[in-house]
């Protein structure tokens, strides 16, 4: 079974555009879980342009499924997650000023850096995942970091899906099988949506979790939040 974790950053973006507390990020997380969402993902950035650190503390009180916190492992971020103790921390290589995650880790180059951070997080009982592309080398060194899981960066799949979905999925299938050979749990995320998710799920073995935010929240504007979550869950059946 592949779980759906809903990234609620975009809800916070809308709130922050006007100030105040509409839409209410905490209420959204509660409703998402009531509607069948199996996890809540947030990515607090240093400038707090969407999710704020105060949101993270408040969300810990209401997330009873799986709480997944993404981010670059600055000292401030690590202090936050070790205090909140989410079920999973997903480490991304983003510099603080990027608009959105746009690459996976070079796990060979950052091996020792990641080893120390992952060991620190695991010592307080937090499951770790690291954002990677499909290169075999990056999967191999991901194993050496000691991480529990990897999250495949799926933007290249999404970009190629419309023109040739078989070609677009090819390297992801190979990466999924190799991750399993290495004993790594497998997550995926970035630009997955109602058009491309079912095919991705059907083709990728051993997929534990997908994290979807931008497309899902945009779809909710048309279909409503409850209906949208049910549509995404339907893509993950079978």
Residue that the structure tokens 């931008």 belong to:
214
Q: Per mean pLDDT, which range of 22-26, 96-100, 168-172, 187-191 is the poorest? A: 96-100
Which pLDDT does position 94 carry in this prediction? Answer: 78
Task: Count how many domains the chain has.
Answer: 1
Query: CATH no. for residue 168?
Result: 3.20.20.70
Is 34 a residue whose pLDDT tops 70?
A: yes
Task: Assess whether pLDDT exceeds 80 at residue 215.
Answer: yes
Q: Which domain holds residue 155?
A: 3-235
Predicted local confidence at residue 103, as pLDDT? 74
* Residue 214 bears catalytic tag: no
Q: Percent of the chain at pLDDT above 70?
A: 96
**Long-range CB pairs of 214-223, under 8 A, 24+ apart, other chains included:** 214/7, 214/9, 214/10, 214/100, 215/191, 216/6, 216/7, 217/8, 217/10, 217/11, 218/10, 219/193, 219/194
- 43 is a catalytic site residue: yes
Please compute the mean of the pLDDT values over residues 129-140 and round it to a whole number.
Answer: 96
Of 50, 66, 155, 190, catalytic: 190
In this prediction, residues 75-82 reach a mean pLDDT of 97
pLDDT tens-digit series, residues 63-73: 999 999 999 99
- Going by C-alpha positions, the residue among 6, 118, 111 that lies closest to residue 73 is 118
Q: Name which of 63, 71, 7 is nearest 220 in CA terms.
A: 7
| pLDDT tens-place string over residues 81-134 | 999 999 999 999 976 665 555 678 999 999 999 999 999 999 999 999 999 999
Mean pLDDT of the chain: 96
- Token pair, residue 30, equals 């509660």
Tell how far CA 172 is from the center of its chain.
Answer: 16
Residue 17: how many other CB atoms lie within 10 Å: 8
70 in active site: yes
How many CB atoms are located within 10 Å of the residue 197 CB? 25
Over residues 174-197, the pLDDT tens digits come to 999 999 999 999 999 999 999 999
Which pLDDT does position 97 carry in this prediction?
A: 60
Candidates 70, 151, 155, 209; catalytic one? 70
**In the predicted model, is pLDDT for residue 150 greater than 80?**
yes
């Amino acid at each position: 079974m592949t779980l759906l974790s809903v990234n609620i950053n975009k809800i916070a973006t809308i709130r922050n555009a006007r100030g105040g507390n509409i839409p209410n990020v905490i209420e959204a997380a509660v409703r998402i879980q009531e509607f069948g969402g199996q996890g809540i993902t947030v990515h607090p950035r240093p400038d707090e342009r969407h999710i704020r650190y105060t949101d993270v503390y408040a969300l810990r009180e209401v997330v009873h499924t799986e709480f997944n916190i993404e981010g670059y492992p600055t000292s401030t971020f690590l202090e936050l997650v070790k205090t909140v103790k989410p079920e999973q921390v997903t480490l991304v290589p983003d510099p603080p000023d990027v608009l959105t995650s746009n690459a996976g880790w070079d796990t060979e180059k950052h091996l020792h850096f990641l080893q120390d951070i992952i060991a620190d997080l695991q010592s307080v009982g937090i499951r770790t995942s690291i954002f990677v592309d499909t290169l075999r080398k990056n999967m191999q060194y991901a194993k050496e970091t000691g991480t529990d899981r990897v999250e495949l960066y799926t933007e290249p799949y999404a970009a190629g899906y419309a023109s040739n979905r078989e070609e677009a999925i090819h390297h992801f299938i190979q990466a999924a099988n190799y991750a399993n050979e290495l004993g790594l749990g497998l997550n995926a995320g970035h630009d997955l949506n109602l058009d491309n998710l079912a095919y991705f799920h059907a083709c990728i073995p051993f997929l534990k979790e997908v994290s979807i935010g931008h497309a899902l929240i945009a779809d909710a504007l048309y279909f409503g939040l409850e209906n949208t979550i049910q549509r995404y869950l339907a893509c993950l059946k079978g």
